[in-house]
Structures are given as structure tokens and as C-alpha cells.
Structure 1
Amino acid sequence: MANNIYDYGMNWLFKVEIGDIKMSFSKVSGLDIELEFEPYNEGGVNDYVLEFPKNKKSGHLVLERGTGEVTKLIKWFQDIQIGKFVRKNGTIELWNETGETIRTWQIENALPVKWSGPSLDAVGKEIAVEKIELKHQGLKEK
């Protein structure tokens, strides 16, 4: 049972590592898993339909960061485009305010599938942000 603020992870305190890639990100999204169910009509039961778990479906992990020099992450994506398919495992750690790890998600067999460059605006004064999306074969609590 959580008693104080140190028992909770803070959404701004996290670390991402994918293979040999250790970078800072301003935002991570796509930490979701959905179960698909198969309906089963049981003979003689007309009040409801039984449902059994069938498949697990995961969304893409989306990593966002300020645009800077070409990094190992971008290089990995460029290698995929020329046929060098290398899947990587990784972790995302969520920390509390004292820096303790509260939760860890393990990413299995990730592969970059989309890169989005920054939106450029001569009037704006925000940091240029790029996104990379990773397809993976599993997201588990560690």
C-alpha cells in the first residue's frame, strides 16, 4: 500500500535502454498490451457468450526526444532500411523522487518501424522534437 509520494513513480523520472543505446527521452508512450478474446457459444446457455483469451496485441512504443546529432538510434533505423534487421531487447525504468526504481518494463525483440522528424516553425521557440516508433514482440513487467 502506498503511504507517501516516494511510493509512486514520477512520470518525468525514467530511463530507457535498448540494446547498446542509452539515451534521454522527453516522452515515452505506447506502454500498452491488449488481450483479444474468442467468443464461444455454449449449447443451452442463452444468457451470455463465453469468451476465452486468444491473442496478445501490443502497440508501438513511441520515443520522443529533442533533435540533435545523428545517434545510434537513428543509425539503427537507417540500417533497417537497407536490410540489416537487428532486433534489440531493452528496458524502461520508472523512478520515484529519490531515484529508486519503482517499475521496470522489459521490451523484447524491438525493431524501429517509423521515424518522424521535428515540425519546424520560424515563429516558434520550442525545442525541435523527433519521434521514433518501435515494434516489439513483448512487453513484460520485470
Structure 2
Amino acid sequence: MADNPLSNLLDQRPVTGLHFRVSLADMAGAASMLAGGVAGTKFSKVSGLKVYASINEESISKSDGPETFIEDIRYDDIILERGLTSDPTPFMLWCMQVFSEFARSKGATSGAAATGSLAGNMKGWSGMTSVVKNLVITLMNEKSIPLIAWGIKDAVPISWDVSPLDAMTNSYVTETIKLRHKGFEILPIPGADMI
């Protein structure tokens, strides 16, 4: 175990959130991405990695007291933020593709698309499967070695916005992308089983 170089990199210490990347990929290609095979977009902030249960408490009988049941599992939207550059990222192009396809299909389909509710039920994306993508969010150490990775399933952008352009300030322009998805899982890190 002492001869393994990975044993010094993966340990039980809390990690900082300074080094991370976000990549578009198939979940099957996640191992290649984690090994550095696919470069991700550099965002300055990622939020929304949250899962929680909807709880229902019912009284079974007067003597037993309330019983707790999980009704549903819910996930927050993923929010990606970065400084805007003149070079369009794969994420920006993806957002424009989604909104363009949505606009073309608005009158031709039923459900959420026909009503113009982009943030509506995911069923509104039937027939537009090309816009749904999987993502991998990888947290890395200071040497860019993956420590933890989350695979985001069936994500679709529901908003893309640019911060206000203000001639009175000298601040960076930022873009923010909000993604709705069907859940996430922690992905295995290649080589971690060797420790």
C-alpha cells in the first residue's frame, strides 16, 4: 500500500472546492472523462448538488404514533456560473440548440412545449431527445487528480442568462446556466480500487 502513488492522493481529509470541471458526456464515457480523456468547461461556481426526500407522516393508530414514509425523491436544479468569454463553450452551444429546437417544435407538439413552459414536466421533451445530455462534475485536488465525481442524468437547460451590462462598473460579465435533470450518482474514480 505504501508503494502505490495513489495512496498519498486519496485520503480522509476534507477537500477544497477550488478545482473542478464540468463535462458533457455519456455515462458510459465517464471513466474516460475521469481519466482526463475529455476536457471540461471551467466554471467558477457549481451549485445544486442536492437530493432530498418528500416526507409524509401518517398516524397508523392512536397507540403507535406517527409513521414516517418517503413519498418521493427530489433533486435541485444544477446551476453553473462562469465568466463570459468570446469563445462559445459546448454548454453555450447546447443551450442555444435546446432553445432553438424548442422554438421550432412549439406549435407542433403537445404538453409543456406547446404551452411554452420550458421548465415544465420533462415529458414535454419527447421527440427532442437530442437535447437531453448527461454530465460529469469532477472535483479534483491541486494536481488535477479526480477525487470525487457526480454523474448527472438526463440534464436539459431550462435557463441561460448573462449578467447585466453596466457602463458604470468595471465588473466581469458572467453567464449562468440552470439545468433540470433526473438525478445524479457518485461515479467510481479509476484507480481508486488499487489503494
Could you tell me which runs of 5 or more consecutive residues in structure 1 were left unpaired when the two chains were aligned.
Answer: none
- Quick one: distance in 2 between partners of 1:71 and 1:96? 24
Whether the aligned pair in 1 keeps the contact of 2:47 and 2:78 (CA below 8 Å) is yes
TM-score (ref. length: structure 1): 0.84
Counterpart of 1:7 in structure 2 is 13
Aligned residues: 137
SS at match of 1:124: coil
- Quick one: distance in 1 between partners of 2:75 and 2:69? 18
Q: Are 1:82 and 2:97 an aligned pair?
A: no
- Quick one: distance in 1 between partners of 2:73 and 2:39? 27
Counterpart of 1:110 in structure 2 is 155
Counterpart of 1:26 in structure 2 is 44
RMSD: 2.2
SS at match of 2:170: coil
Is the alpha carbon distance of 1:100 and 1:72 closer, same or farther for their aligned partners in structure 2, counting shifts above 3 Å? closer
Could you tell me which runs of 5 or more consecutive residues in structure 2 were left unpaired when the two chains were aligned.
Answer: 1-10, 26-37, 103-127, 188-195
Moved over 6 A (4+): none
Is the alpha carbon distance of 1:72 and 1:41 closer, same or farther for their aligned partners in structure 2, counting shifts above 3 Å? same
Q: Of the candidates 66, 71, 75, which is equivalent to residue 89 of structure 2? A: 71
Q: Are 1:60 and 2:63 an aligned pair?
A: no
Q: Are 1:49 and 2:66 an aligned pair?
A: yes
Whether the aligned pair in 2 keeps the contact of 1:7 and 1:96 (CA below 8 Å) is no
Shift of 1:21: 7.9
Whether the aligned pair in 1 keeps the contact of 2:160 and 2:177 (CA below 8 Å) is yes
TM-score (ref. length: structure 2): 0.63
Q: Deviations over 1:105-136 (max 9, x none)?
A: 11000000001112222222221111000100
Structure with more of its chain in strand, by fraction: 1
- Bigger Rg, structure 1 or 2: 2
- Quick one: distance in 2 between partners of 1:91 and 1:23? 11
Letter in 1 for 2:179: L
Q: Of the candidates 52, 55, 71, which is equivalent to residue 37 of structure 1? A: 55
Letter in 2 for 1:94: L
- Quick one: distance in 2 between partners of 1:25 and 1:55? 31
Whether the aligned pair in 1 keeps the contact of 2:41 and 2:89 (CA below 8 Å) is no
